[in-house]
Structures are given as C-alpha cells and as structure tokens.
Structure 1
Amino acid sequence: MSITEQQLLLILPNAGRIAGVFAPALSAAMGEYQIITRLRSAAFIAQIGHESSQLTRLVENLNYSANGLANTWPNRYAEPNGKGGYVKTVMNNTVRNKPNALAMGLAGKAELIACDVYAGRMGNTAPGDGWKYRGRGLIQVTGKHNYRLCGDALGLDLVSHPELLGQPWHAVMSAAWFWSVNRLNALADVSDIQNIGSIINTGSKGRTPNGAAARRVLYQQALNVLT
C-alpha cells in the first residue's frame, strides 16, 4: 500500500510541508517490508507518527529537567525512600518522584544525560558513545550495537556515520527495519496496538507505552484515512 502526501497530512497534520518528503520514502519502505495491508499501514504510520512528533523529530531529545529524569529513569535519578520505592513530591497536583542529586546536576545537559543513561549498554563502550548513538530515526534506533545491526541491514556504515539516521529516507527505512525484525506486522494484523507500542517504547510486550492513548488516536485516524 502506497501513501500519498495528502493522506499523510490527514493522519499527521502537524507534519506540514515535510509530509511531501516522507510520503515516497514511506511507500518504498512499507512495500519492501510487507507493511502493505490497511491494518499494517495504519499501525505503522500511527506509531512512527507518535515516536517522531508527527515526522518533525528524527533525533532523540534528551534535554530533560531534573523531574523528567526522576520520572523517566527512577532507578538512576529518583531519591530512594529506603523502602524499595522513591520519595514523592507534588507538582501541578500530580504526585511525582523526587529527583536525586545526580538528576539535579545533569538537568538540561543533554549530552551528559545521554552519556550517563546509555553508558555501558547496547554496545556502547567508549566515552561519548551514549551521545553518538542516541536515538535516531522515526522509531529511534539507540546504541552502537543496534546501529550496527540496522546499518548491516540497510547497507549503511551507521557505526561511522550515525547521523545518517537523521535523514528522512534512512529514518524511514530504519523504522521499517525495526518493525520487521520485531515482527510487528503480526501484531498489526490483529490490531494489537498496545503491544506494538510497548515493544517500541519499552522493548517488550505487556507494558503500557508512553502516550498509549495518543497512539490509539493516531491509529484510528489512519484507519479512517486508509480506506
């Protein structure tokens, strides 16, 4: 199933003019990776739309506040309460984890955050790898090991040139590759949007992904357009 610029804008209106850049790349990638039925196409476009802020963000934003750090990675950045949980604070009438000293020190320092969060993980070994191999693409490929796997599949030297995944064509192809290797077509065939989002956002099934409701709204919009 091919996707037109007009269809993309109906599903992802915030994409604006860039929809015309992504439409041919999406059509090619979806054809290559068998994302060709209405259910598969709707699920794919909804997920990449959510992950990329409707095609407007191709590189991971790690400019976290201290509170953002404490509530995204609590095991690293939240103040422990000594009972296996975390000290709580109230912000805007919402109960949140209280940031620890490390979170306070890293707040707003995106490169340092990346190097702390991703150090020694996902094939990252050298100083600076966390920042160099931060999330890129429409479904953010993260970590040197995953960049290598993706590059091997796409015929790109992403280890030497990770910035390539910040380009629209490669950003799309990397997302379709991720979709394929994680067998997400099978979940799309049964409209299991929750677990598709869980795998993309958390790495495994059975969890509630970030923005679960928003992902479902985009999925319904895509179904309505792709008739």
Structure 2
Amino acid sequence: GALGAVVRLELDTVAAEPYGQTVYEGIGWDAALDGFDELQASGDSVSLFTTWRSADEIDQVWVKSRRAAPDLRALGGRPADGARHPIPGVDPRPATEQGHVPGAWFDRLPHFRLAFTPSAGDELQSEYLLPRSELREAVAGLRGLASRIAPVLLVSEVRTVAADRLWLSSAYDTDVVAFHFTWRRDEAAVGELLPHIEAALPPSARPHWGKVFALPGREVRARYPRWSEFAELRARRDPQGRFANAWTGRLGLT
C-alpha cells in the first residue's frame, strides 16, 4: 500500500463453531427495506443478491448463522427448493453447501468452495459503501436505473459492514451498507454506466479501493474526513515516493 509493505499481521481469534446457511427467495425490496434491521439480525452474515432484472424483487437472500435457520415468511421469504449459485441459472456446485447443513466456518461463510473459481471468473467488479441510514435513498436510486444496470450485470450483492477506525476504510466511523456489482467483462459499457450509478447514490458513497469506479480524485478525497491526515502520514513514511504510482497520483495522494 501507500505506506509500504505489510510484513506482519496480528489477528484476534474466536472459538470455532459450526455454521449453516440457507438461501431464501420471494423477498421484495419494499419488504426488505421495511424489515431491514430484522433481516440483518436473522444471521451472522446476510447477503441480498439481485440481478436488477426486476426493480421490485430480490433474487436471493443468503443467511449464514450459528443458530437455527430463521423464519423469514413475514418478509415473504421461502427457503430455496435446491442449491443456488448467486448468479441465477449458473451451476450451483461451486457454491458452499446450503440447506442449513452445519459445517466449518471456512466452508459456509464464503459463498464459494475453495476448489472452484469464485463468481463468474471473467468479470469486472465495482462496490460502493455508504452509511446504513442512507439505505433507502440508495436503493431508490438504483431501482430507477434497473433497466440500464441489468444488461451489463451478472449479479449485485448488498451486505452490511460494521464501523471501524481506519482512516481510509470505506466503513470509517460508521456502520455501512455495501452495494457490490459483478459486471460482464465489457469495459466500455461498464465505464459508460458507472457515472450514472455514482450520481444516483448518495454523495457519501465511498468506492471500494480494489474495484472499478469513475469518481474523480477530488470527490473521493472529500468523502474521507481523515484524508489530509493520511496524506501527511504517507509523506512522512515515504518521503521519496517509492510506493507512489499512477493510481495514488490519480487520487491526489502523491
């Protein structure tokens, strides 16, 4: 990274417990938004997958939990009648086991089995993270673009991330909702669409550093309240710019 190379990492660990995961279908956006807190509390990890082919329906909701499979009938959810891949119609064998069969965390929390290529493989990705309080505004903006998003998209995932204290984290100082897009590998079409998505999302949305986005550096910088402090730290740690490159230059970091 811009501060140098990571050579040591210390992890906090917890006791291993078995997890199960269940895929639900039949939940619409209106029900999900009205019951979003309940839905997110139904498991340890909850992901909403949609292709945006419908502006009203969510294709799948994946719930991973150390507890019993939740009852989501109040939201319209019913367990899928078989294994599912996050991308509708794709062979589900690469996906981790479903049906709430207990298994080790590393065989349930990931969406894909380690022996398989995750997702589609030949793809582009984008992701934007914004305060959880702005969920409705973000979904409304994307629903308005659904007919333009769907032809370029393989699948979109909506998930939540807890706040942290890392200055340039997309979840700095606030609990966030992440809107991920797995695109078909069409750079021209994705590049044309991204500015429209970024305009439709609240201006607080922070792009994922490792995925494709179109926001200019000045707009990205404005979304991080500790940006100037990080830039000063970077200058002290790397005064000769050995870890600078075109990417950090585009962002105005070097």
Choose between structure 1 and 2: higher helix proportion: 1
**Alignment TM-score, normalising by the size of structure 1:** 0.28
Q: Which has the higher contact order (CA 8 A, sep 6+)?
A: 1
**Alignment TM-score, normalising by the size of structure 2:** 0.26
